[in-house]
Amino acid sequence: MILSVLSSVVLISLAGTHVAASTRDQFPFVTETQEDFYEFKWPIRRVAVIGAGVSGLIAYRELTEAGFDTVKIFERDEIPGGVWHYTDELPDDAPIPNLDPVVGDFEPSFPPQGMSLPYEQFHFDDAKERFRKHRAPHAVWKSLTSNVPASMMHFTGLPFTPETSFHIPQQTLCRYIRSAYSYYGINSNDRNENASYSTRVELVDKRYDAEGNERGWTLTLKKLTTLGPLLSREEWWTEDFDAVVVATGTFNAPHIPNIPGLAEWKIRFPQTISHSREYRSPEKFANSSVLVVGAGPSATGVSADLQSSVAANYLSLRVGLSLPRFVHVSDLSITAERQVGNALQFLQLLKDGYHNSSWQEDGTSVRPLITDGTHYRSLYRDFLYIEEPTLGFVNMNLGIVTWTHGDYTALALAKIWSGKARLPSQDLMWQDHYRELTKRGGYSKQFPLLGAPHHSSYIAFYSGWLNSAAAEFGGKMIDGMPKDFIPAIISWQRDLFYNTNPVQIPPDFPTALLDEPVDVLHWMTGRY
C-alpha cells in the first residue's frame, strides 16, 4: 500500500542543544506546562485498522472498547489469521535483485486513468489465480509450529487450555485466531459491516477540508470477489477516517543478498533459487543438496523441515568474522566458498530474510518511515508517527511477544485518540525518540530489537503511563508484566537453544551476533 504524508515540519537538529534534566526529560509523559502536550488538529471518531491478524484484533478490541463511533478493519485475505493462514498456494517469486525497500514488491492497483470512484470492473480469466495475486499467500509452511510457549501465544482473556502443546501447530493457531475474531463478531462469515475482507488498501492519503486544512485520512480500497472459475469482480472506492492503525506485521518485502551473478542464474535456472516465503513442504527438494542462507527462525525451521528429505542439508550462520567473497555464481554452478578455498556445489538455494515495506511514501516527508528497509523510524516509542500522530502502529518491534506487547501499544492509541491520555508535544516526542535512538546505537537493523530487558522496561513504561492516565481521566487500567512471563521466557530459551529444537544451536554460539552482517558461512551438516 502507499502512504502519502505531506509534511511542513522543519527538521529539528539536536546537535549541540542542551536539554535540561527535568522531570519531563526523565519521563516524557509527566509534563510541566500545557504547551508540553500535543493537541490533535481534528477530533478522532472514525478509525481504520489495516490487517486482520493478531495485532489487528488487539487494535480493534481496544478501539471499540474505547467507544469510537466507527472502528473498521480491512484485510486483503478472505479470512482473518494474518501470517498464520496457511494455503498450498505460493506467493510470486521474490525479485532478484531486491527492489527498493521503500517500494517492496507490492504493486498498487487503481482503476483505468480518468475513471472516478466508486468503480467496478469484471474479469473473464482465471479467477483463482487473480485472487492469489490479490491476497498474496503468507510465508507459512505446512509443518510450522509456534516457537513461543503456548502460555504466551494467546489473546488476553482467551487463553489456551493447560494441556495445550508447548509448540502449537499453525493450523491450530489459525483456527484459534479465527475463533477470537468470531468472539468479537468480525470473522469473515459474520457479515459485519465493520470488517471488510478480500479488500486491499491501495493508498492512504491525507484528507483536507474546503479551506485546505488537514482533516484526517482517505483510504483508497479495492475488493476482489470471485464469481466463478473464470469470472471475478474488482471494486474500488474510498473511505474517510480520522486515524489509521497499521497492523500488517513487521516484515513484508523479501530480502535476498545482492550476490554477483545470482540474478543471471535465476533467469537460467529459475527453479533452483527461492525465498523462504515460497517454502511449503520438503517434497519439492527430495534427494537434492540444499543450502539455506540465513539463521533466523524461518531459516532454521525450514532447514529442520528439510532434514529427512534431502540428500545434503546446509545452513549458513553469521559468526561475525570478516572473510572475503563467501558466495559467487559462475556460468556452470553456484558455489559457496570459504577463504581456505573449500567449495560446495549445490542444486537448491533458499534465502531467508525480509525488509520493512508496509508503506510507500511520496518522498516529500521530512522524516521518512522507511529508508533501507531494516527498520521503521520517526515513530514515538515505536508505535506513533511523530509527524502526524493520527497514524499508529501495533507490534513493530522485534524481540517481543506480540500477543502481550500489542495490548500496551493498542491501548495507548485508544487512550490518546479518545482523550483519555495526554501525548507529549512533537518537540518532546522527538527528544524522547533521539534518546531511544542513542540507547539502541542509532538506526540499523538492530534498532527495532527490544529483547527481554528493554521489553520489560517498555511494558513498565506503558503500564505506568496508562494507569496514571486512567487515574486522572478514568477508563481502563492494565497490568504490568505477567507474573509467569519471565519463567516462561527462560523455559522457552532453554528449549529453543539447548534441548528440543530440531536444529540446535550449540551452547557457546554467540547468539547476539545472529543479526550482524553475513561474512562467513558455517556449515551445519547434522544436529548438535
pLDDT of residue 525: 27
Helices (H), 75-227: 127-135, 170-183
**Strand pairing class (253-254; 354-355):** antiparallel
Q: Give dist(CA 283, CA 135) in Å, integer.
A: 25
Distance between CA atoms of 84 and 179, rounded to whole angstroms?
Answer: 13
Instruction: Assess whether the region 2-6+42-252+355-401 and the region 256-352+489-513 belong to the same CATH fold.
Output: yes
- Nearby residues of 417 by Cβ (< 8 Å), 6 or more positions away: 40, 44, 47, 63, 66, 68, 242, 243, 390, 392
Residue 424, classed as helix, strand or coil, is strand
CATH number of 2-6+42-252+355-401: 3.50.50.60
pLDDT of residue 427: 93
Residue 284's alpha-carbon distances to 290, 445, 478, 498, in angstroms, are: 11, 32, 48, 30
Confidence (pTM):
0.80
Q: What is d(CA 235, CA 8) in angstroms, rounded to the nearest whole number?
A: 34
- Distance, CA of 217 to CA of 235 (rounded, Å): 20
| Residue owning grid cell 485518540 | 417
From first to last of its 528 residues, what are the pLDDT tens digits of the chain? 655 443 322 222 222 222 233 334 434 444 455 568 999 999 999 999 999 999 999 999 999 999 999 999 999 999 999 999 999 999 988 888 777 665 666 788 999 999 999 999 999 999 999 999 999 999 899 999 988 878 888 999 999 988 888 789 999 999 999 999 999 999 999 999 999 999 999 999 999 999 999 999 999 999 999 999 999 999 999 999 999 999 997 766 677 777 788 888 888 888 888 888 899 999 999 999 898 888 777 888 898 899 889 998 888 776 654 444 444 444 434 444 333 333 333 334 554 554 444 444 443 445 555 555 565 668 898 899 999 999 999 988 777 778 888 999 999 999 999 999 999 999 999 998 888 878 777 776 666 667 666 777 778 888 999 999 999 999 999 888 766 666 666 666 666 655 544 444 444 433 333 333 332 233 222 222
Handedness of CA 266, 267, 272, 278 (dihedral sign): positive
Helix (H, G, I), strand (E, B) or coil at 154: coil
DSSP H helical ranges for 276-421 = 297-306, 402-418
Return the domain boundaries, the chain: 2-6+42-252+355-401, 256-352+489-513
Contact call for residues 323 and 338 (beta carbons, < 8 A): yes
CB atoms within 10 A of CB 186: 27
Class of domain 256-352+489-513: alpha beta
Q: DSSP letters along 38-80, please?
A: ---SS---EEEEE--SHHHHHHHHHHHHTT-SEEEEE-SSSSS
Can you tell me which residue has the cell 472502528? 71
Triad 46, 211, 42: Cα angle to 5°:
30
Q: Which amino acid is at 438?
A: T
The confidence score (pLDDT) of residue 497 equals 57
Q: Can you tell me which residue has the cell 517498555?
A: 458
